[in-house]
Amino acid sequence: MNPSDVMPISDYLSGLAGGLLIGSAAALLVLLNGRVAGISGIIGGLLQTGNKGDKIWRLMFVLGLLAAPFIYRFVFGLPTVTIDAGTIELIIAGLLVGIGTRYASGCTSGHGVCGISRGSMRSLAATLTFMTAGFVTVYLTRHVLGL
Amino acid sequence: MLSISAFFVGLLFGFGLILSGMTDPAKVIGFLDLAGAWNPTLAFVMVGAIVVGSAGFALAKKRQRSVLGAPMQLPQTTQLDKRLLFGSLAFGVGWGIAGFCPGPAIVSAAAGQPKAWLFVAAMLAGMALYSFIESRGK
């Protein structure tokens, strides 16, 4: 058994510590590069035609994200994760997340972390909307449909 | 210089996602499951990130250019529109179904989770679809 299963306090602490790292990354990206650390926007910008010079930093950021689990595994070992969703659910969810975050100009990082951090009402509205949608979806799938 | 800093910031962001538990969809869904065995961990993640993020953006707002000399590119839009609300709604539904949002999905895919590969492929298709629709409209 994973120790965090019996000691939720360590879950909270790692959550808080992880949050501090995420916030530090967001702060560093805006202070060093003048950019918002929104993952959907950074990736979305790579999928659009146009300005090549604007793509390099995006690509390097994504490479950093991709390198993270390799280094983390080497130093600490990766935590075990559980993905309950099946094939069809993953495809539907992925499409909704992809198209939704682009129309909304942001996801958990761009709106939830960076937007709220810079006091944007638009990001607060987006965050309240996607969190409410998430709460309702899980209520429906878990407790009404019993998936 | 800007690409080197972007790489290390991406790396730090990824470490934060792994340490925080955001890369575990069961934990994310546990947080979204108010009527079940609610797991408040992710609220701690948000608070931790926003506390440090707020300090960073407060400093950034006082600057014309970044520390490395790049222009400050902060979003200027303030309007609440249908795109924002319906986009966020669709995102939230997808997030609730799979327990993945974009950053953690990318990190999990790199960690070698086949289910995350599938999710990321669908997510990239959704993003490409958006770019296609938007470029046609112009």
User: A5 and chain B: CB distance < 8 Å anywhere?
Assistant: no
pLDDT at residue A3 is higher than 60 = no
Beta strands in chain B (DSSP E): none
pLDDT at residue B50 is higher than 70 = yes
Angle at A22 between CA B7 and CA A107, to 5 degrees: 90
Q: Looking at residue A147, what is its pLDDT? A: 72
pLDDT at residue A5 is higher than 60 = no
Question: Mean pLDDT throughout B51-60?
Answer: 97
Lowest mean pLDDT among A101-105, B44-48, B70-74: B70-74
Residue type for position A1: M
Listed in sequence order, the residues at least 6 apart from B18 whose beta carbon sits closer than 8 Å to its beta carbon are A18, A68, A69, A72, A78, A79, B107
Question: Mean pLDDT throughout B107-117?
Answer: 97
More confident residue, B134 or A24: A24
Q: Which residues pair with B71 in a beta bridge?
A: B65
User: A25 and chain B: CB distance < 8 Å anywhere?
Assistant: yes
Q: Given pLDDT bands bounded at 50, 70 and 90, which one contains residue A7? A: very low
Share of chain B above pLDDT 70, in %: 99
Q: Do A94 and B119 meet the contact criterion of CB atoms below 8 Å apart?
A: yes
CA distance B72 to B110: 30
pLDDT at residue A8 is higher than 70 = no
Q: Give the residue among A24, A129, A94, A101 at the shortest CA–CA distance from B11.
A: A24
Question: Mean pLDDT throughout A109-113?
Answer: 97
Q: Give the residue among A66, A11, A110 at the shortest CA–CA distance from B19.
A: A11
Angle at B88 between CA B86 and CA B92, to 5 degrees: 115
Nearest to B122 among A16, A84, A90 (CB): A90
pLDDT tens digits, B7-21: 999 999 999 999 999
pLDDT at residue A11 is higher than 70 = yes
Predicted structure pTM score: 0.94
Q: Looking at residue B138, what is its pLDDT? A: 63
Nearest to B26 among A84, A97, A113 (CB): A84
- Domain total in chain A: 1
Q: Looking at residue A13, what is its pLDDT? A: 94
More confident residue, A6 or B87: B87
User: A99 and chain B: CB distance < 8 Å anywhere?
Assistant: yes
pLDDT at residue A89 is higher than 80 = yes
CA distance A111 to A130: 10
Q: Do B135 and B127 meet the contact criterion of CB atoms below 8 Å apart?
A: no
- Reduce the DSSP state of residue B67 to 3 states and report it: coil
For all residues of chain B together, what is the average pLDDT?
A: 95
Q: Looking at residue A52, what is its pLDDT? A: 78
Question: Mean pLDDT throughout A75-103?
Answer: 96
CA distance A142 to B40: 17
pLDDT tens digits, A29-45: 999 999 999 999 999 99
Taking contacts as CB-CB distances below 8 angstroms, the residues of chain B near A126 are 84-85, 87-88
Q: Looking at residue A143, what is its pLDDT? A: 93
Residues of the domain holding A136: 3-144
Q: Do B76 and A123 meet the contact criterion of CB atoms below 8 Å apart?
A: no
Listed in sequence order, the residues at least 6 apart from B80 whose beta carbon sits closer than 8 Å to its beta carbon are A121, A122, A125
What DSSP state is assigned to residue A52? Answer: G
Q: Do B73 and A114 meet the contact criterion of CB atoms below 8 Å apart?
A: no
Contact (CB<8Å) A26/B13: yes
Q: Looking at residue A6, what is its pLDDT? A: 45
The b/e string for B53-65 (b: 16+ C-beta within 10 A; e otherwise) is bbebbeebeeeee
Nearest to A47 among B110, B120, B128 (CB): B128
Tell me if ipTM is over 0.90. Answer: yes
Neighbours of B83 (CB within 10 A): 14
Backbone angles phi, psi at B71, to 5 degrees: -65, 145
Contact (CB<8Å) A18/B18: yes
Contact (CB<8Å) B119/A90: yes
Q: Which residues pair with B65 in a beta bridge?
A: B71
